[in-house]
Structure 1
Amino acid sequence: MARRFPLWVTASVVALTVGLAAPPAEAATREAPPRLPDTYVVSAEPGMVPEGIAVHRDGRMYVTSDATGALFAGDVRTPSMHPFAVGAVDRPSSRGVHTDTAGRVWSVGAGTLTVHSRTGRLLATRTAPDGPLGPADLNDLAITADAVYVTDWANPIVYRAQLRHGRPGPLQPWVDIRSAFPQFPAQYWLLNGIVADAAGDTVLVASNGTEAVWRIDVATRTVEQLDLGDQSFGADGMVLAGRRLYAVLNYGAPNGVYVADLDPDLRSGTVTHKILTDADGQAFDLPTTLARHRCRLYVVNSQGDHRSGQPPYTVSTVSDPACGE
């Protein structure tokens, strides 16, 4: 038998139900997140020539100047960048830049590696010794749990510095790529981008001059060429996310972003995407490297083939074609 309640109880329940089912009008309309810029202005000063880029996990963005050595900082939510607190680094050029898990800013250029706090305080400086072809001209770096690896644009050398409590030891020659490729050209465009897998067991090194990416086994220092079939893959900057390799090409193939899926050992792979224009459908202006943050790729327009270029100097964006796969 159904239990009967007084009319005042029934009325109260109905009123409560209606109140729950009818939230205030302002709660029903949620604001969409703000749209991120498609293009970022690094600098409007003549002669800056951007080169490297890093986007930290919190959205802080850093770009280097190949022509002046300056570092610039910004945020993915705002379209303009500004000089980093350190101003000009004491070197004529800055190329590769990355952040570590603590948010410190690591950058290389000319013959030096520098580490700055997120506020711009200089924490460490390391100088690379000369290579077999002359003074070091450092290009890019990769940071693992126990070491930092650095490429040299003027020598076929990968340098390594041991890390202790986040501080680098001396930069020392670690691998000469000519051990695998004796015909390495005695000219510039030697070593470019460098990435390491999450475990720190494998390092991939790009070389414009040989139109190849070289795989180094960290334990044995064995060097072999990454097999990407018939695809010319003389990458400049690179990003490795799991087994997916993102690379910027500006030599030996149309300028743009190339994405390759690699095998579990990072010995071979297949190019799956080629992106030759930015989010606005414009061609990249001699792209040099890229950063990956969430579902977007950030690509540096260096204008390096017509130095010193024409300001403003910019970073373009494209959607990550592999996002959600």
Structure 2
Amino acid sequence: MYPEVAMMPGTNRLLCLGASVLLVGLAAQPAPAVAHDLPRTYVVSRSPGVLPEGIAIDRDGTMYVSSDGTGALYRGTVRDPRLRPFRADGVEDRTSTLGVHTDARGRVFSVGGAELTVHDRRGRLLTTRTAKSGPLGASDLNDLVITEDAVYVTDWANPVVHRAEIHGGELGPLEPWLDVRSAFPQFPAQFWLLNGIVADRSGRTLLVASNGTEAVWRVDVATRQVGQLDLNGASFGADGMLLRGRTLYAVLNYGAPSGVYIATLDEELRTGAVTHRITGAPFDLPTTLARHNCRLYVVNSQNDAPPGEPPYTVSAIDDPTCDRP
């Protein structure tokens, strides 16, 4: 069964933060047909309690998926419907792994608890960096983005973005870099719940999702100035996100029908409008997504009813914004 793909109409007035009114008046549109020779469903694991969370897909189609339930990493390819355990040194001691991404060298970056780890393709541990406690206590790292000169990491337990500089390919210490509370000081610190994070191609602008404020926040890296991304009235508490040029892909899984929401942003990534909403089957509490060759790969976490029910899967859908016929 294919998901419902809907396109958004014209803009609405901006709603206040925390509003529950979401994305209405949708007209159904079919998605373009692409890559139908590839699987539509990928089985991450059939072992109980895995609860997949993060996903990364390398340029060659290698897929990595993290486990919130066990801390394990899994690896496969977009050409094969079955993933297998990725034997990554040190990960066996981690009880939960959330964000996972790869860099241009094919290194695998992942976060869990207070740790950021980097592995090579063979699973050898290259680097471990530990985040300091924040204003509310121990860090609980959620997601990361890799730019040319740094890795930025969100903290679910603290309203803090951490940063580790990259020098000659080597990773420096992971340190608190930005306390986001100044952008909305009246909001309770414990409810920011920072989640997905993305960067533009230059690495000069970050977009940070906050489940608690139901908003995406724009960060100027040079000045550390924080402002809300204006999406024309959409309450937008994203989980995982992906930025491709001026197209923002986000997974929403509470306060709105679960699924993939796509927005077109202005050149400065300050404003935009949601253009597509993709909901319904085959999603099962999706958490985040990756993109490869006009397809979106969406993680089905089952985190709403842990330990869930095997098999744990990733669903592949066509990208409705793709230019390919």
Q: TM-score, normalised by structure 1?
A: 0.87
Residue 265 of structure 2 aligns to which amino acid in structure 1? Answer: L
Q: Which residue of 1 aligns with 2:29?
A: none
Alignment partners' CA distance in 2, 1:227 and 1:89 = 41
Alignment partners' CA distance in 2, 1:36 and 1:232 = 34
Q: Which residue of 2 aligns with 1:322?
A: 321
Alignment partners' CA distance in 2, 1:89 and 1:196 = 30
Q: Which residue of 1 aligns with 2:298?
A: 299
Residue 78 of structure 2 aligns to which amino acid in structure 1? Answer: V
Q: Which residue of 2 aligns with 1:190?
A: 193
Q: Which residue of 2 aligns with 1:67?
A: 69
Identify which of 138, 155, 162 aligns with 2:141.
138
Alignment partners' CA distance in 2, 1:188 and 1:43 = 32
Calculate percent identity across the aligned residue pairs.
68
Identify which of 24, 43, 46 aligns with 2:45.
43
Q: Tell me if structure 1 keeps the 8 A contact 2:181–2:189.
A: no
Identify which of 248, 272, 278 aligns with 1:269.
272
CA shift digits 1:244-276 (9 cap, x unpaired): 000000122110000000000000001000000
Written as runs of structure 1 = structure 2, the 5 A alignment for 1:1-325 is 35-86=37-88, 88-187=91-190, 190-277=193-280, 282-324=281-323
CA shift digits 1:35-59 (9 cap, x unpaired): 1000000000000110000011100
Residue 240 of structure 1 aligns to which amino acid in structure 2? Answer: L
Residue 245 of structure 2 aligns to which amino acid in structure 1? Answer: G
Residue 311 of structure 2 aligns to which amino acid in structure 1? Answer: P
Q: Tell me if structure 1 keeps the 8 A contact 2:287–2:299.
A: yes
Alignment partners' CA distance in 2, 1:114 and 1:89 = 12
Secondary structure at 2:88 match in 1: strand
Greater gyration radius: 1
Greater helix percent: which structure?
Answer: 1
Alignment partners' CA distance in 1, 2:233 and 2:36 = 42
Alignment partners' CA distance in 1, 2:131 and 2:233 = 35
Alignment partners' CA distance in 2, 1:195 and 1:151 = 10
Are residues 220 and 290 of structure 1, via their aligned partners in 2, closer, same or farther at CA, if it must alter by over 3 Å?
A: same
Q: TM-score, normalised by structure 2?
A: 0.87
User: What is the CA-CA distance between 1:189 and the residue it aligns to?
Assistant: 6.2
| Structure 1: gaps (5+ residues) | 1-32
Cα root mean square deviation, aligned? 1.3
Q: Which residue of 1 aligns with 2:5?
A: none
Secondary structure at 1:162 match in 2: strand
Residue 165 of structure 1 aligns to which amino acid in structure 2? Answer: G
Alignment partners' CA distance in 2, 1:308 and 1:146 = 38
Q: Tell me if structure 2 keeps the 8 A contact 1:185–1:210.
A: no
Q: Tell me if structure 1 keeps the 8 A contact 2:197–2:240.
A: yes
Alignment partners' CA distance in 2, 1:34 and 1:265 = 35
User: What is the CA-CA distance between 1:186 and the residue it aligns to?
Assistant: 4.0
Residue 190 of structure 1 aligns to which amino acid in structure 2? Answer: L
Secondary structure at 1:220 match in 2: coil
Residue 145 of structure 2 aligns to which amino acid in structure 1? Answer: A
Are residues 208 and 34 of structure 1, via their aligned partners in 2, closer, same or farther at CA, if it must alter by over 3 Å?
A: closer
Alignment partners' CA distance in 2, 1:305 and 1:183 = 29
CA shift digits 1:301-325 (9 cap, x unpaired): 0000101100100000110011007
Residue 306 of structure 2 aligns to which amino acid in structure 1? Answer: R
Are residues 267 and 125 of structure 1, via their aligned partners in 2, closer, same or farther at CA, if it must alter by over 3 Å?
A: same
User: What is the CA-CA distance between 1:83 and the residue it aligns to?
Assistant: 0.4
Where relative contact order (Cα < 8 A, 6+ residues apart) is larger, the structure is 2
Are residues 266 and 115 of structure 1, via their aligned partners in 2, closer, same or farther at CA, if it must alter by over 3 Å?
A: same
CA shift digits 1:171-191 (9 cap, x unpaired): 111111101011333445610
Alignment partners' CA distance in 2, 1:210 and 1:225 = 10
Residue 174 of structure 2 aligns to which amino acid in structure 1? Answer: L
CA shift digits 1:5-46 (9 cap, x unpaired): xxxxxxxxxxxxxxxxxxxxxxxxxxxx88100000000000
Alignment partners' CA distance in 2, 1:237 and 1:183 = 25
Residue 81 of structure 2 aligns to which amino acid in structure 1? Answer: P
